[in-house]
Amino acid sequence: MKEGVLLCGHGSRKTAGVEEFKKLVEILKERYKNDYEVDYGFLEFNHPLFEAAVERLYSKGVRVIYALPVILFAGAHAKNDIPYELNTIQSYYPDLQIKMGSPIGVNSFVLDLAKKRIEEAELHVSRLDRRETCLVVVGRGTTDPDANSDVTKLMSMLWEGMGFGFATTAYSGTAYPSVEQSLALVEKLGFKRTIAIPFFFFTGVLLDRIYATLEEKNRLSAQEFIYTAAFGTDELMLKAFDSRLDEAVNGTGNMNCQLCKYRKQIIGFEEEVGKEQIGHHLNVKGVLFEEDEKVGEKKNTLGSQFKKLLGI
């Protein structure tokens, strides 16, 4: 039976972020080409949608699809939106199995990659004892305390493992504290340097805002504020995807339900237990950039230029 891998992206309002996602797709397509057909789709903003990607895989004879969320932490997107979309698509094909893998989450590869990005940033500034440095780990931020706690766990492991004087978290949206609030608190602690590491795969509107906030803080403060690059397509991240794919194939990729606010009574979120699983991106599915080429297809061909002209 032919098997496929569906890379489930969130989507971005920034073209550069979409291009970086497609670069990851091309790399993983080459990496898995001997065993799987690889395709991709987006939850919102961009094309192709998951439904189109599944249709392409199905037309190639794929009857088992392993869906891998290109999402770092298991918030609402991974727990509700993507499963809702995939369950709906699954119902269209009686002879097709879609098996969803876990988000990247907390694992040794992400921890090692974060360490690598921090060390890379330190190479561009003067040498300083890490005990005089504060670390700020910046997550996307969700309404799910389970996902936010993963950011805090990785922060704590980096703090203890790398010997920073202090470490804390910040979030680009939804959760507290925001990047601005966290930096204001950190500045009062008086560390000579603060290193911020955004836990993001690629560039995008949110990452640009984080960098702009840090640059402004560095300009106005007597202390030094620097930041790392995003995770990108580093080999360590590719190994994390290998691990999640292996779990999905072998049926061991289980979502963390012990502290999930939809399944257990979590302090402050008691009313969300048993909440219906339904996507909330229906109004923004594919609203921005149309798909102008498939993975591995040559760009700027006559066909792609014609599609752009027609807006399709």
Contact call for residues 152 and 212 (beta carbons, < 8 A): no
Q: Cα dihedral sign for 95, 257, 281, 294?
A: negative
Contact call for residues 200 and 151 (beta carbons, < 8 A): no
> How is residue 65 annotated by DSSP?
E
Q: Which residues are catalytic?
A: 10
Nearest to 199 by CA among 147, 138, 157, 241: 138
126-158 burial, b if ≥16 CB within 10 A, otherwise e?
eeeebeebbbbbbbbbbebbbbbebbeebbebb
Report the distance separating Cα 216 and Cα 301, nearest Å: 42
**Rg value, the chain, Cα:** 20
Contact call for residues 270 and 261 (beta carbons, < 8 A): no
Report the distance separating Cα 239 and Cα 236, nearest Å: 5
